[in-house]
Chains A and B, each alone.
Chain A
Amino acid sequence: NAGVTQTPKFQVLKTGQSMTLQCAQDMNHNSMYWYRQDPGMGLRLIYYSASEGTTDKGEVPNGYNVSRLNKREFSLRLESAAPSQTSVYFCASSEADTERTGELFFGEGSRLTVL
């Protein structure tokens, strides 16, 4: 049972470099999400995708782009990394974007450090 798989698990970047975080889920879920986790601030929503072909901004989208490549995959791209983007990134998925959105299934996280 793979669930939600994120790669890479660790990455160190220099300021200005670009990178893409990959996420794939094998649960046939419609909705996928990217969150960042910072000390004392909990998880904040970066972008989400309610279905294949759609993406929407969350609370902190600046400096990021996303692609919902197909139903399984949802990638997060940093075009020009900044130290403020040092964080742990979590991908998640859920069955549907319904009125009572319920359980999110999370990946193990990707720890990104920008020097």
Chain B
Amino acid sequence: GDSVTQMEGPVTLSEEAFLTINCTYTATGYPSLFWYVQYPGEGLQLLLKATKADDKGSNKGFEATYRKETTSFHLEKGSVQVSDSAVYFCALSSHYGGRRALTFGSGTRLQVQP
């Protein structure tokens, strides 16, 4: 079945450092890809998405490019802030009994220190 693999965390960075969180996937067909973020004590919220190969999703300074050849969707940000501390989930749209729902990776916790 479909699956998403993310790098283990926690990732600890200093403010203004460059961030990369790796995500690779296994899926049939050409799924849409997503990054969700979960701030402490809250539910997940969509950060960005890409629906086809070579698409770049971007939001709040975060970017990710849909790479079909490497089946990857790595999350990047040029300069992180303390407020970016959260858990980040990579996800893809999957088939469940003929319908679609999201399959999530295990999440990567980011801690940004002042």
Q: In the complex, are the beta carbons of A58 and B96 less than 8 A apart?
A: yes
Q: B-facing mask of A40-51, CB < 8 A → 1, else 0? A: 111111001010
If A100-B32, A100-B51, A100-B93 touch, whether A106 touches B44 (CB-CB below 8 Å) is: yes
If A90-B44, A104-B46, A106-B44 touch, whether A42 touches B104 (CB-CB below 8 Å) is: yes
A20 CA to B100 CA, complexed, in Å: 25
Q: Is A57 an interface residue (CB 8 A)?
A: yes
Q: In the complex, are the beta carbons of A104 and B44 less than 8 A apart?
A: yes
Question: Considering the complex, which residues of chain A in the window 90-109 have a beta carbon less than 8 Å from any beta carbon of chain B?
Answer: 90, 92, 97-109
Q: Kindly list chain B residues whose C-beta atoms are within 8 Å of the C-beta of A33.
A: 101
Residues of B in contact, count (CB < 8 Å):
26
Q: In the complex, are the beta carbons of A98 and B42 less than 8 A apart?
A: no
Q: In the complex, are the beta carbons of A40 and B96 less than 8 A apart?
A: no
Q: How far is the CB of A113 from chain B (nearest CB, A)?
A: 17
Which of B36, B100, B101, B106 is packed against the most chain A CB atoms within 10 Å? Answer: B101
- B51 to chain A: closest residue by CB: A100
If A90-B44, A101-B32 touch, whether A48 touches B99 (CB-CB below 8 Å) is: yes
Q: In the complex, are the beta carbons of B89 and A42 less than 8 A apart?
A: yes
- B6 to chain A: closest residue by CB: A42
Q: In the complex, are the beta carbons of B100 and A98 less than 8 A apart?
A: yes
Q: Is B77 an interface residue (CB 8 A)?
A: no
Q: How far is the CB of A82 from chain B (nearest CB, A)?
A: 22
Within 8 Å by CB of A56, from B36, B97, B107, lies B97
Measured CB to CB, the residues of B under 8 A from A are 4, 6, 32, 34, 36, 41-46, 49, 51, 89, 93, 96-97, 99-107
List 27 A-B pairs, Cβ < 8 Å.
A4-B43, A35-B104, A42-B6, A42-B104, A42-B106, A43-B104, A44-B104, A45-B96, A48-B99, A50-B99, A56-B97, A56-B99, A58-B101, A92-B43, A97-B100, A98-B100, A100-B93, A101-B93, A101-B100, A102-B49, A103-B49, A104-B36, A104-B102, A106-B43, A106-B45, A107-B43, A108-B43
